[in-house]
């Protein structure tokens, strides 16, 4: 599981990509209001690779319901 420091730094930058107030993007944040357009997907994949050194798929990312799903996806990749 990614460390909390890494997670916090990642979430701040994720908020910027999603154009959401960083204070709102916590582990409990839901992606229900997010429009995963192509730019957001690609930017997020690159951000995940930069912070956690894993590459997640575009569909898998779009299927995440929120930050917790995304972090679980990353943890799953790290565990492999």
Partner 1 sequence: MPRLLALASHLPEKVLSNQELADRFPPWTAEKIYIKTGITERRVASQYETAADLAESAAQKLLAQPGVNPLQIDMLLFVTQTPDQALPTSACNIHHKLGLPRSCGALDLNQGCSGYIYGLAVANGLIVSGTARQVLLLTGDTYTKLIDPYDRSVATLFGDGASATLVGPDQPGSQPGIGLCRFGIDGEGGKLLHCDYSGWRVPVADQKPLRMDGAGILAFTLGVLPKALTHYLCETNATLSDFDSVVFHQANQFILERLYSKTGISSKGVIAMRYSGNTVSSSIPIALEALLPLNNENFQRKILLAGFGVGLSWSFATILI
Of 20 and 41, which CB lies nearer to partner 1 in the complex structure? 41
Told to check if 42 binds partner 1 by CB under 8 A, we report yes
Told to check if 38 binds partner 1 by CB under 8 A, we report yes
Of 13 and 26, which CB lies nearer to partner 1 in the complex structure? 13
CB count in 10 Å sphere of residue 16: 13
Sole binder of partner 1 in the list 21, 59, 79, 80 (CB under 8 A): 59
Give DSSP secondary structure letters for 1-69: ---HHHHHHHHHHHHHHHT--GGG-STT-B-TT----HHHHHHHHHHHHHHHS----HHHHHT--BHHH
Binding site for partner 1 (CB under 8 A): 37-39, 41-43, 45-46, 49-50, 55, 57-59, 61
């Amino acid at each position: 599981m990614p460390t909390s420091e890494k997670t916090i730094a990642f979430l701040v930058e994720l908020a910027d990509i999603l154009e959401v107030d960083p204070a709102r993007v916590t582990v409990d944040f839901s992606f229900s209001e997010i429009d995963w357009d192509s730019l957001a997907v690609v930017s997020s994949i690159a951000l995940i690779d930069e912070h956690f050194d894993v590459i997640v798929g575009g569909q898998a990312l779009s299927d995440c319901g929120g930050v917790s799903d995304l972090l679980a996806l990353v943890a799953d990749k790290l565990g492999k």
